[in-house]
Amino acid sequence: MKNKMFLGLCIVGLIYACATNPITGKKTLNFVSNSELFPSAFQQYGTFLKENKVITGTADARKVEAIGMKIKASAEKYLKYLGQAQYLNDYRWEYKLIDSKEVNAWCMPGGKIVVYSGILPITKTDAGLATVMGHEVSHALANHGAQRMSAAQLQQLGGVGVAVATGGKSEQTQQIWNQVYGLSTQYGGMLPFSRNHETEADQIGLTLMAIAGYNPEESITFWSRMAAQSKGQAPPEFMSTHPSDATRIANLRALIPEAKAMAAKVGIIR
């Protein structure tokens, strides 16, 4: 009886947690609203900037800001075209270049972007940097942060369900079931979920950079350089939060025509 009640509550929670993302048009699992998430993200971003060296006044810093503004403008055009201009009302765009050898960039929920100086030798061109920033901004626009938090909560809830269902079993049996649940949800759920987010961010990012006036085919050049830089260091795809370099590049090639077509509809023809 307890197990049935628990399952019923989970199903009800899933039904009411689904929302439609205006960019992707997909139903997404989301327990966390922007009104809850954004203030925390903004505070964490401010803390991060205080604890790290922000580069200002250089040509690279100005480039990050300029390209960021172009991506922001293309996001606004895109959402307006989709009839969802109000979607960005709570976003507070900010673009900072951080002095670090790390080859990375990220965007917090709400539009707070960081680019590490270590990635600039690989981006090389404005289009390469636009590829990176378009991808990171797309994570924020698609609410991937909130979805990952929601999925983690659901995974934890499922763990409670396993504990309830095996409560009368031996300790060894409980441990086995917990291990099986942990591995199956990680490799069969959480990691594929994250890889899907990466592909979705690539798709939206291509459209944003195309609307901003950059050639989306340059994304292939950038990711090819990334693949050369990280060759042999990445884990097998099924164990990773990201698609393999080969999978990502193949996906990009397939998505580029769609990005160009959408950019043409929005008003910029490449």
Q: 61: how many CB neighbours lie within 10 A of its CB?
A: 17
Looking at residue 126, its amino acid is D
Q: In b/e form, how buried is each residue of 234-250, taking b as 16+ CB within 10 angstroms?
A: eeebeeeebbbbeebbe
200 is a catalytic site residue: no
Comparing 78 with 195, the larger pLDDT belongs to 78
Assigned token pair, 88:
């960005």
The residue from 51, 76, 136, 171 that is catalytic is 136
Asked if 97 and 113 touch (Cβ cutoff 8 Å), the reply is: no
State residue 162's pLDDT score: 53
> Quick one: what percent of the chain has pLDDT higher than 70?
67
- Residue 164 structural domain: 2-266
pLDDT tier at 234 (50, 70, 90 boundaries)? low
- Ranked by mean pLDDT, the top range of 154-168, 169-183, 195-209 is 195-209
pLDDT tier at 47 (50, 70, 90 boundaries)? very high
Q: Please count the structural domains in the chain.
A: 1
pLDDT tier at 20 (50, 70, 90 boundaries)? confident
The 3-state secondary structure of 189-255 reads HHHHHHHHHHHHHHHHHHHHHHHCCCCCCHHHHHHHHHHHHCCCCCCCHHHCCCCCHHHHHHHHHHH
Q: 33: how many CB neighbours lie within 10 A of its CB?
A: 11
For residues 75 and 202, give the distance between their C-alpha atoms in angstroms, rounded to a whole number. Answer: 14
Asked if 67 and 127 touch (Cβ cutoff 8 Å), the reply is: no
What are 186-210's pLDDT values in tens digits?
544 455 456 778 888 999 999 999 9
CATH of residue 164's domain is: 3.40.390
Among 46, 26, 25, 22, smallest CA distance to 34 is for: 22
Longest dimension (CA), the chain: 66
For residues 31 and 17, give the distance between their C-alpha atoms in angstroms, rounded to a whole number. Answer: 5
- Checking if the pLDDT of 236 tops 60, the result is no
Mean pLDDT to the nearest integer, 209-232? 90
Assigned token pair, 191:
């990691």
State residue 14's pLDDT score: 46
Assigned token pair, 235:
């884990």
Task: Please tell me whether the overall predicted TM-score, pTM, comes out greater than 0.85 for this model.
Answer: no
For residues 170 and 270, give the distance between their C-alpha atoms in angstroms, rounded to a whole number. Answer: 64
Residues 6+ away with beta carbon under 8 Å from 64: 95, 96, 97, 115, 129, 133
Burial class (CB in 10 A: 0-12, 13-18, 19+), 228: exposed
Q: Taking all residues of the chain, what is their mean pLDDT, rounded to a whole number?
A: 79
For residues 116 and 253, give the distance between their C-alpha atoms in angstroms, rounded to a whole number. Answer: 26
